[in-house]
Amino acid sequence: AVCSMGNSTSRLYSVLAKTLSSGAVSQHQDCLEQLDSARLDPLDPKDLLEECQIVLQKRPPRFQRNFVNLKKNTASNHRPIRVMQWNILAQALGEGKDNFVQCPMEALKWEERKCLILEEILAYKPDILCLQEVDHYFDTFEPLLSRLGYQCTFFPKPWSPCLDVERNNGPDGCAMFFLKERFELINSANIRLTAMKLKTNQVAIAQTLKCHETGRLFCIAVTHLKARTGWERFRSAQGCDLLQNLKNITQGAKIPLIVCGDFNAEPTEEVYREFSNSSLNLNSAYKLLSPDGQSEPPYTTWKIRPSGECRHTLDYIWYSQHALNVNSALGLLTEEQIGPNRLPSFNYPSDHLSLVCDFSFNQDPDRLL
């Protein structure tokens, strides 16, 4: 079903409503992959935002989050690269499996929730967008974001839990989007992560991009590691496999690296230490928001399930600290903003908070590790 987008004089004639209907993916994925997005008319983000706001007019307004300036006195003549990391919550899981006991089902309706997700993306205007739990790639995100000028890549999980849900929209997976006006794709790798030499259900995308403005190469990766308590060693093995792949792709850190992901791991876990201590010389960008620059945020996800309240730090943006500077990072929602029923809600579409950072290249490109 397509929800009303307001009156018939809408300039876009409901561009959101024109995205392909649910269920189209599994039946027509081969056709979808042949669609040439370049032939579609470009879309003005202001028009899309206006369409979203018409759909969302009965919902509370978006929460205001402010960027925290982290820039040390390093002058840069170039525009920063804005990177957004977000587990958007797969629609099939939100409605069918996750049991958010304090979240009304009405708040999870896809026709409205997709507009909340798009509104969040449009508000921060990332140059690179890294998403997890995407199960509406072909019928929503690829058609719309490609028209906004993004090059789009999707890698589904081999055995997505979404497929167990009745009336699902196909498998969920990781997706990456970058603005073609800012970057050129040099290399792209879809990685199925292994653990203990076994192929797993978790995936990553790693792309080497060339920045048009600076001529510099860098690698951006997105991943989503295995969930659940008791799988710590498994996540550790997946992290090791991902790091090894990234070492090969970046030629041992010669190419700067940014890794976005829902690691499903608190900072106390082994996989976090592996990334912290890697020879790739990675740092976690959101640590820089803490007073000492050494502590992760108190939470990046906060929800209530039948088993109780879960408040965890699981989402990260890692970066090559020898080659990149973090100019600013988007502050998190406060406990007061999140509210007593936690996430998701009528105000916020996912159980995970989006993370957004502005990066610039170190001005001394020869200074490595």
So what's the pLDDT on residue 35?
52
Residue 345, pLDDT above cutoff 50:
yes
pLDDT band at 22 (very low <50, low <70, confident <90, very high): very low
Are the CB atoms for 159 and 203 separated by under 8 Å?
no
Q: How far apart are CA 67 and CA 327, in angstroms?
A: 10
Cα atoms in the Cβ-side hemisphere of radius 13 Å centred on 47: 16
- How open is the CA angle 339-344-345, to the nearest 5 degrees? 60
Strand ranges (E), the chain: 67-69, 81-87, 128-134, 150-156, 173-179, 183-195, 198-211, 217-224, 257-262, 282-284, 301-305, 308-312, 315-320, 324-330, 355-361
Q: How far apart are CA 178 and CA 169, in angstroms?
A: 24
149-162 residue pLDDT tens: 999 999 999 999 99
What are the distances in angstroms from CA 12 to CA 15, 58, 150, 195? 5, 21, 19, 47
Can you spell out the DSSP letters for 23-71? THHHHHHHHHHH--GGGSPP--HHHHHHHHHHHTTTSPPPPP--EEE--
Tokens of 81: 């690269």
**Residues whose CB is less than 8 angstroms from the CB of residue 121 and which lie 6 or more positions away in sequence, other chains included:** 84, 129, 145
Which residues is 309 bridged to in the sheet?
304
Q: 365 or 294: which carries more pLDDT confidence?
A: 294
So what's the pLDDT on residue 71?
81
Q: How far apart are CA 369 and CA 360, in angstroms?
A: 17
Mean pLDDT of the chain: 90
Q: Name the CATH code of domain 78-364 (choices 3.30.1390.10, 3.60.10.10, 3.40.1000.10, 3.30.110.70).
A: 3.60.10.10
**Residues whose CB is less than 8 angstroms from the CB of residue 155 and which lie 6 or more positions away in sequence, other chains included:** 173, 174, 175, 190, 203, 204, 205
pLDDT band at 11 (very low <50, low <70, confident <90, very high): very low
178-191 residue pLDDT tens: 999 999 999 999 99
Domain ranges within the chain, ordered by starting residue: 78-364
- How open is the CA angle 48-52-54, to the nearest 5 degrees? 115
Residue 34, pLDDT above cutoff 50:
no
